[in-house]
Every structure is written in C-alpha cells, then in structure tokens.
Amino acid sequence: MSALLRIALLSAWNRRLTLGLTLLSIALAVTLLLGVERSRVAARTSFAQSVSGTDLILGARTSPVQLLLYSVFRMGGATNNIGWDSYQDVTRHPAVAWTIPIALGDSHRGFPVIGTNDAYFEHFRYGRGRALELAEGRPFAGIFETVLGAEVARRLGYRLGESITLSHGSGELKVAEHGDKPFTVVGILAPTGTPVDHSVHVSLEAIEAIHLDWQGGAPMPGVQIAAEHVQKFDLSPKTLTAALIGLKNRAAVFKVQRHINGYPDEPLLAVLPGVALDELWRVVALVEQALIGISVLVVAVGLAGLVAVILASLGERRRELAVLRSVGAGPRHILALLALEGGAVTLAGMGLGLLLLKLLAWTAGPLLEARLGLSLAIQGVTLAELKLLGAVALTGLAASLLPAVLAYRRALSDGLTPRL
C-alpha cells in the first residue's frame, strides 16, 4: 500500500498545476461551506442573545413576533401603545423584580430613538448576561441629554458634547424635526453587536418634552414651547411602546404572563423572549437553508472539477497506466491508485479549507463580532462541521471512483497500442 501511495503522490506531483488548481477550488468550497455553517450558528446565537436575562416582554396585544421585533430589534412599529397606569400596575406585581420601559416612535438620521430610564443601564443584559458598558461619558441625567449606541457614534462621527436633534417618526417616515429642542451627547456605549449599537437613548421625560407642542403626530399651529420652559410642565409619561420585565423567580413566569394577558383595563400581551425568538427564527429559516444549499452546490462544483481533471488525465496517462499493468499491477491496483489520488486531493483540499477558515476567523473575526455581533473566533471543529467534512470526504471519494472504474476496465493493450 505504501508503494501505491508513493506512486500516487509522484503521479500527482507530475500534474501538480492542474491538481493544485482543483485542490484550491475544493479548499475554497470547503471554506465557504464551513464559513456559512459557522456564520449561521453565530447569527442564530447573536440573534438569541440580543436580549438576555429578560423573562417577559410587555406590549400592546399583537403577534409575539411583532412585539419582539419592535421592542428588541427596533424593526417595524407597534400597533398600539400601552398606558402608563397599566405599566405601573404590572410593575407592582409581587413577582416582578425590575422593569425597563421603552418608548419608540422618533429617530435621528435613520437610527431609532429609545426613550427609557436608568433601569435600562442597570438591568439590560445581552449575550451571556453581559451588562451595558459606556465607552465614554456617563448615562443621561438631564432632560436634553442622550447616550448613543456605538454604531451611531461611529457612523455619524459624534463625540461627547456634540449637539443633535431628533426627528418625529422612524426611518424614512419622519414627519418633521424637533429642531427647537437639541440634545447633548453625554455618553457613548461600548459595542455590543446588538440593536443597542444602532440606537439613540434618551429619557422618558425627554420624549414627553419634545412633544409638548405636538398633537396628533404634528406640530400645533402657532404653539412653540422653548426648551428652557419644558420643566414647567408635567413630563410624566402618558404611554409606552413596550417594557422588558425581570422576575424575582423565573418559576412564576407563566403566572405573571397569564395575569398580564388577562389584564382587564386594556388589551396587553406578555411574551417569553426565547419562545418568540424560536418562532421568528422559523420564519427566516428559508434563507438559512438557501445559504446552505448554495454552499453545497459550490462544493459539488469543486468535486465535479476534480472528476473532470482526473477524467481528462486518463487520455494522457494511458501509457503510464499500461506500464504499471505490464510490471504486475492488476486492475484493482489501478482502481485503488486513482481512487487514492482523488481522495488525497479531496482531503488536502479540506485541510487547506480549514486553514483558510482559521485565517479568515483570525483576520475578519474581530471586525464581524464588533460590527455584526457574529462570533467567528478560532475554535475547534464542531460535531456538525465534522459531519459536513465527512460528507465532503465520502462524496470526493465516490466521485473519484468514476474515472477509477473507467481505468480499471481498460485492457493492457489499450495503453500500449498507439492511437491513430
């Protein structure tokens, strides 16, 4: 077997250019396949860890997925708000340990504005229970102070002490700017890889203050309340968009959920974040499967190239194979030789693909984690990846058997007889 392997290696080295290109194509295909698999797992993990330690999400009655999207991922809009009194009633439930109120509806240059309070910086968790950290500055204290997410500050080039204005409406749907009530940047959060990075954070009182001279979603004609006069008014919140709830004992989660869902004064909804995330992930699973399908097709193309190269080389290797037959190599030796050659190229391509993936994780991993929250850190091969590699190896070996069988069937005289 060692002699056969040596012959296979020498023969492969003699055709190193074509086999090298084939090996590279297989390596790139394996890198793409494993890269998509790791990105898929990282995206699911990052998606699930956008909010951590929250037992329930409170909002107006709607679908659980929609409530999750606008309260956690800042996507879409609420069908209705919830009353401040109702929110206060929920906070007074004996099983509730803490709550984080959230008021949405405004934006700044396409980034969502989040109205909240000190509980946001104290209790909000992401990832594996990680708390929010300030890269610069401090949390807001005054009415017209704001704390920016890392991506907001980076993309717009903001620094501490700069002045910004908010716009009514979200994204492209903004109606008008609250230009008469500017905010001062007092803090910038450290990157989290979650929607927090793309958010502008202000106090609940600030949300009320910028809308004092608004009614029905539009400025009141002839009425303008200056920023220095807003403290003369009652700035207590009237409504909220949603709230995150933490319980003293997670065993009471279903009891509190039933209490909220059956609240008599207005239709409320409480959802478990994990359950809603699973439901949301099932919605986007088609995209996940499409990416995996594309990766599999790329691997198939790479292996098809391997078969094509070996088949094309058979005509050039007629004499070589015939000489091997003439010195005692049987058809089975020829079959094993070509199968071994194809398998070796496949395995070498897989090894090179793993090295390329580690290089990619080493160079681009920190950037992806900081910007998108996708962790592609250097790690060992997981069980799922081993199954994929095993499937690639078996498919490569099976693909190599086709030219091997053709060579096996050729007679000794085929290689020694000149072709006219």
Q: What DSSP string runs through 217-282?
A: TEEPTT----GGGGGGS----SEESEEEEEES-GGGHHHHHHHHHT-SSS-EEEE-HHHHHHHHHH
Enumerate residues 6+ apart whose C-beta is below 8 A from 165.
108, 177, 178, 179, 181, 182, 183
The answer to whether residue 263 sits within a structural domain is yes
Amino acid identity at 106: D
- Cα pseudo-dihedral 134, 140, 141, 145, rounded to 10: 140
Residue length of the chain = 420
Give the whole-angstrom CA distance, residue 62 versus residue 144. 32
**Which residues does residue 114 pair with via DSSP β-bridges, in sequence order?**
201
Residue finishing a domain among 271, 302, 329: 271
Q: Which of 49, 46, 59 is nearest to 104 (CA)?
A: 59
Residues 145 and 255 in one domain: yes
| Domain that residue 250 falls in | 56-271
Whether 184 and 108 map to the same domain: the answer is yes
Q: Looking at the 3D structure of the chain, how many domains does it have?
A: 2
Q: Is the dihedral of CA 403, 406, 408, 414 positive or negative?
A: negative
DSSP tag of 166: -
Residue 159 forms part of a structural domain:
yes
Residue recorded with tokens 């927090």: 196
User: Which pLDDT score is estimated for 11?
Assistant: 67
CA distance 54 to 319: 72
C-alpha distances (whole Å) from 307 to each of 75, 122, 168, 196, 345 are: 48, 60, 61, 50, 11
Q: Output phi, psi for 219, to 5 deg.
A: -65, 140
Buried b / exposed e over 256-286, threshold 16 CB at 10 Å, is: bbebbeebeeeebbbbbbeebbeebeeeeee
Rounded Cα distance between 139 and 133, Å, is: 10
Residue corresponding to tokens 């069908």: 79
Q: Rounded to whole angstroms, how far apart are CA atoms 143 and 333?
A: 83
Q: Is residue 137 part of a domain?
A: yes
Which pLDDT score is estimated for 420?
47
Mark which of 271, 297, 320 sits at the end of a domain.
Answer: 271
State the Cα–Cα distance between residues 268 and 81, nearest whole angstrom.
Answer: 10
- 63 and 29 in a single domain? The answer is no
Q: Model's pTM, two decimal places?
A: 0.70
In a domain, 279, yes or no: no
Please tell me whether residues 159 and 183 are part of one structural domain: yes
Same domain, 191 and 338: no
Rg of the chain in Å (alpha carbons): 31
Same domain, 173 and 246: yes
Asked whether 198 and 74 are in contact (CB, 8 A), the reply is: yes
244 and 373 share one domain? no
Task: State the distance between the two ends of the chain, measured CA to CA, in whole angstroms.
Answer: 36
Where among 239, 271, 303 does a domain terminate? 271
Instruction: Examine residue 303 and state whether it is found in any structural domain, yes or no.
Output: yes
Ranges of the chain with pLDDT below 50:
411, 415, 420
User: Helix (H, G, I), strand (E, B), or coil: what is residue 319?
Assistant: helix
For residue 100, the model assigns a pLDDT of 97
Q: Are residues 267 and 320 in the same domain?
A: no
Tokens of 266: 């207005």
Please tell me whether residues 309 and 199 are part of one structural domain: no
